[in-house]
Structure formats: C-alpha cells, structure tokens
Amino acid sequence: MYELVQAGEKTYYVDCPSKIGIYRIDDTSVCLIDSGNDKDAGKKALKILAAQGWKAELILNTHSHADHVGGNRVIQERTGCKVYCPGIDRAFAENTILEPSFLYGGSPYKELQNKFLLAQPSQAMGLTEGVLPKGMRMARIDGHSFSMAAFGTEDGIWFIADGVTGEAIIRKYHIPFLYDVGEFLQSLDKLEKLDGRLFIPSHGEIYTDMGPVVKVNREKVYEIADTLREICREKVGTEDIIQRVFEKYGLAMDQNQYVLTGATLRSYLSWMKTRGEVEAGFLRNRLYWHITEEQGTGEKGSRPLAGCLSQAARGMTAAVNEDKKGLLREIECFALDMDGTVYLGEQWIDGAKDFLEEIVRLGKKYVFLTNNSSKSPEVYVDKLRRMGLEAGADRIITSGQATVFYLQRNYPGRRVFLLGNDLLKKQFEEEGIVLDGKTPEIVVTAFDTTLDYGKMCKVCDFIRKGLPYIATHPDYNCPTEDGFIPDIGAIHAFIHASTGRHPDRVIGKPNGDIIRYLIERASIKREKTAMVGDRLYTDIAAGKNSGLTSILVLSGEASLQDVVKSEIKPDLIFDSVKDIIPYLKQ
C-alpha cells in the first residue's frame, strides 16, 4: 500500500485506497491527479515524491469527493502548488462542508462530519483545458458527481476516477454512488470510446479494455431501476424505498451508507420521473412514489407522427417510415417481437421474410423475443420452418427462459412452485430448477393453458404465506388466430383479488430482466440493439426502459392514434418491417 507504480514513460500512480495519479512534467516537476482520501494520504504522497526528487507543481482533481481531495490542503500548504477542480465541484473542494450537507439535505450532524465525507478545504481554481501540462488531455465524465473529469497522458493512460465501479466492488456494495443517472450512462458511452492502452480508476483493478466493466456498470443501472420499478408498483415513501432496497441487497445501514445510498436512490427516482416511469405525489403530508400507468418513459421531444388523426395530432410533421437521425445505421442486433411484427398466425407479414434475410446478408443479427412462456423455443422453430424459414432455437428467447436465468442468478437451488403448462415445466427441469408442489420456497406464475380452479387455490395459498412471487410476463391477453384469450395478467388479477399481492418481480417485456438475458446470451451491446414490436406497452416500453432503440411497426396492435395518446414514444415508426429495409443499407 502507498507504493509508487510506473505505468508509462512519464505516467505513474500511487497504489493506495484512492489512487493518486502522477504525470512527470520534467525531471523535477510533476502533476498530481487527485490527492488521496485524507491528509495522511497527502503526507505519504509527499514522501514518495521527495524520494524521487519530484515536486508537485499542480493537482488536477477529477472531482470534489472527500476521498479524492483529502490530501489537497497538506500538499498545497507544503509545496504552494495550484489546485484545479472541474465545474461546480470547485466550490465543494473549497467549501468541503458542502458535501455532507448536500448528501444529508441540511446541516450535517456530528457523525456525518467524518473524513469519508468531509475533507479539509483547499484553495481551488476552475479546471480548463488550458491549465493541463503539455502531453495531457481531459474528458468530462459527469454523473458520479456534479462535474467529473478523466485525464489522459501521452503514454496512452487514462485516469478515470469513479467513472466506473469494478465488478468486485459492485458485488459487495451493489449500489455505487451516483448524482445524475442519465449523465452517468452518457459518460459510460464516452469511456467505452476512449482511445488508450490503460485505464486506471481510483478504486479497484486497472483495465486494458473498458468494454466489459462498462457493460457491468450499465447493467447495474438498469437492474436498480427495475428494482425501484417493482417496489413502486404500490405507492411508497422514499424512506420505505431505501429500507426495501437495503433489505433486498443485504446492505448494512450506517451513517455513511444512509446518506450515500439514500442520495443515490433519490437520484434514480428523479431520473425515472424525468423519463416518465414513476410519478411523485403527496398523501397525508408524505411524499410517495408510484409507477406511471403504462410504465413508459414519456420523453419530451419524441418524434412527431404522420396524419391529422385527432385534435392533438393536427399540425404534426410526418415521421413514419423515416430515420432522419440515422439511428438504424448503428444497430447490430434486432430484437423482434413475433405475432403482429413478422407474422400474423401462420402468414408472414408482407416483406418480413425479406427483412430477416437482409439483416443476415448485411452481417447483422436478429433474435425473436416473445413474452409467451407457454411455448418452448422448439415450438417456434417448427412453426418458422413450416413457414419456410430455418431459424435455430438460439434465435428464440422466451420469457420462460429469461425467468429460468433470473432464478439461477438470484435463487440458486431453491424449490419452485410453477404455475405453468407441461412444456414450461420441462424447460425448468432441464435447466436444473427443482419443482415442488408441496413445500416450495418460491412461486413462479406463467401463462398456463391447463389452468384449473385447484391450481389457482394452491398458488394463492403459497402466495398468502409470503413466498417470493415471480411472474414470467405481464400480458393481460394473448393473441390467437380467432382473437384474444386471457393471458397471465388476468391470472394475476385473480391472485391479487384473493391474496392482495402483486408479483414481486415480472421478468418479461416491458421489464428489464428479459433484456438483460437477451444482452448476455446474444453477447450484444444495448446501444447497438433495437427492440422492434407492435405493442407500445410491452415491446416499445421494454426498449425505452432498457436503453435500446425502440421501433414501432403498425402491422399489429398499435396504431398512430395510440401513439398520440400514449406516454410511450418510440424512437422510430414504420408501417411494417419491410419499410425498415432501405435504412439498413445507409
């Protein structure tokens, strides 16, 4: 600990709890990147510099959190060096009481004024490109803090502060601190594109490839959002949300964890409210949160629609069958709903088969993504073969498969009562899930075409006992060639009327677990994936909720009038998948 490590010809770092970067300006002068977590870290850094015959000319703070500016004051007092800090964080570095005050939401009581949250103040100046030593560059990666910078050196090395959290740390603490979730996601995109040979975060391991750790961080964001969405199915107060999250992840509450995790969860709720996924209100003088009716993002500035369909739609500019921003050029994988999107019953929608063949010809991927858990992938493979398309089971993802994946990750070895048909039971058993109709530890509900009253009595009994209650998908109706039949959502309504409980977690569209399974199984990137479907509240909402490009086709359930009325706005709208083909080639 506190060892000097050379990472490049002119680039070094001090290996300590919050790494201190060093860039050698000349034989005797160096630039520090951050200063450690407290004054003792600063003193140790000074000793290391003295042993090398170096003097600190300046400190570049990545941001103002106490563990990054903790050594500023002692180094500045002993060397007279200048300190630079980006954006709003400069005020926090100069007035360090702001950090615990901001986290707590008022004047912090004594226990919050500790070295982890309250550093010694230093004299800081605004950070600009012009103050960087020759051979250094900078990139803004806000989100973890108000303003945060990554610093690169001419050796191809980047100091990326808290731009990502290592996988081991995520496994231990689960909820990394974030101030602005949306900015953080954008910064992850920037980090993934940085040109460098070595990437040094302030905490944890060092990376030669940012792709995998960026993926882990991005997945964690969507997982936490899914958790909050599930909690907010009922009206619930902020403090109750914090308590439930701590319990879900097995976290131990203390002074620091309360303010850090609490502030982070409030930031998530704010981000989700901005996206239209949750709403806030007041009940008996208490703030509560609740998911919006359709769980859409409700983003402002959605692309306008064609046609004067209603008073609300009059004057809107046509956008159907257009891709003015070139979104489709970046797509490498298309996640496709099936019925209503590529076929109706046993008949291809006009041009759908050509669309699939063109995707393959261009070296892109497609995967069918269905909420129907009553059929196995092999059933769909047989159907597509009858229709003249050879597509292996690897191209089919069902909510049943995603549920198995979720159970294996979160409830390994637990006994499951499954409300589902024989095909789904076979899938579960083949994947090692132990089914138990007498003493289960978890209840899983699925679309069950063999449902009878006895099964309903049994599932309600288990749910009343408080067992974890997982659902494969939320659909109320299932389309057939003869119209609609009741789907699992109707079954859930029955269960709720009897037990008072909604599912603790719903795996299928529009929720994120099925998308996480898709991303992992198909080895694809969210930002390079499009969700294509004919339903706003499942297909399009799934894309919007999970950071995919969302494409609505008007060949199935949804109409333009539905889009006008809905809070869920797709990124692109086409009459059918056939009309997407010209934009694949641009």
The pLDDT tens digits for 49-71 are 999 999 999 999 999 999 999 99
Q: How far apart are alpha carbons 311 and 565 in whole angstroms?
A: 11
Confidence of residue 481 (pLDDT cuts 50, 70, 90): low
Asked if the model's pLDDT at residue 15 lies above 90, the reply is yes
* Packing angle, helices 488-499 and 453-464, rounded to 10: 50
Q: What percent of the chain has pLDDT over 90?
A: 75
Backbone angles phi, psi at 295, to 5 degrees: 55, 30
Mean pLDDT over 109-127 rounds to 94
465's tokens:
């006992």
Over residues 209-259, the pLDDT tens digits come to: 998 899 899 989 989 998 999 899 899 999 999 999 999 888 888 999 999
Q: Cα(323)–Cα(572) distance, rounded to whole angstroms?
A: 7
Average pLDDT over residues 81-102: 95
The reported pLDDT for the residue numbered 586 is 60
* Distance in angstroms (rounded) separating the CA atoms of residues 117 and 37: 10
Confidence of residue 305 (pLDDT cuts 50, 70, 90): very low
What value does the mean pLDDT take over residues 103-120? 94
Using omega within 30 degrees of 0 as the cis cutoff, is the peptide bond preceding 133 cis?
A: no
- CB contact at 8 A, 339 and 371: no
Contact 342, 577 (CB under 8 A): yes
Tell me if residue 521 falls in helix, strand or coil: helix
Report whether 331 contacts 325 (CB < 8 A): no
Angle between helices 39-52 and 72-79 (to 10 degrees): 40
Model confidence at 452, pLDDT cuts 50, 70, 90, reads: very high
pLDDT band at 426; cut points 50, 70, 90: very high
pLDDT of residue 64: 96
Specify whether the backbone of 291 is left (phi greater than 0), alpha (psi in -120 to 50) or beta. Answer: beta
- Of 9-13, 145-149, 383-387, 521-525, least confident by mean pLDDT is 521-525
What sign for the dihedral angle of Cα 21, 113, 220, 174?
positive
Question: What's the 3-state SS for 30-47?
Answer: EEEECCCCCHHHHHHHHH
* Res 322 pLDDT > 70: yes
CB 185 within 8 A of CB 221: yes
Q: Is the pLDDT of residue 124 over 90?
A: yes
Average model confidence (pLDDT) for the chain?
Answer: 90
Tokens matching residue 438: 């007498």
Domains, the chain, ordered by start: 3-220 (3.60.15.10), 399-506 (3.40.50.1000)
Query: How much is the pLDDT for 351?
Result: 94
Q: Which of 338, 349, 380, 379 is nearest to 475 (CA)?
A: 338
Short-list 511, 489, 493, CA closest to 229 = 511
Mean pLDDT lowest among 138-142, 225-229, 343-347, 480-484: 480-484
Q: For the chain, state the CA radius of gyration.
A: 27
Contact 431, 408 (CB under 8 A): yes
Residue 449: closest CA among 470, 422, 472, 429: 422
pLDDT of 303 > 60? The answer is: no
What per-residue confidence (pLDDT) applies to 307? 37
Structure confidence at residue 293 as a pLDDT band (50, 70, 90):
low
- Cβ pair 335, 531 in contact under 8 A: yes
pLDDT, mean of residues 294-310: 37
Hey, is 442 helix, strand or coil?
strand
pLDDT for 277 equals 85
pLDDT band per the 50, 70, 90 thresholds, residue 298 = very low
Is residue 304's pLDDT more than 60? Answer: no
Distance of alpha carbon 161 from the chain centroid: 20
**Is residue 312's pLDDT more than 50?**
no
Closest to 417 measured CA to CA, from 460, 374, 375, 450: 460
Quick one: tokens of 561?
A: 């009038």
Which residues are CB-contacts of 419 (< 8 A; sequence separation ≥ 6)? 443, 444, 445, 446, 448, 451, 455, 459, 491
The answer, yes or no, to whether residue 5 has pLDDT greater than 80, is: yes
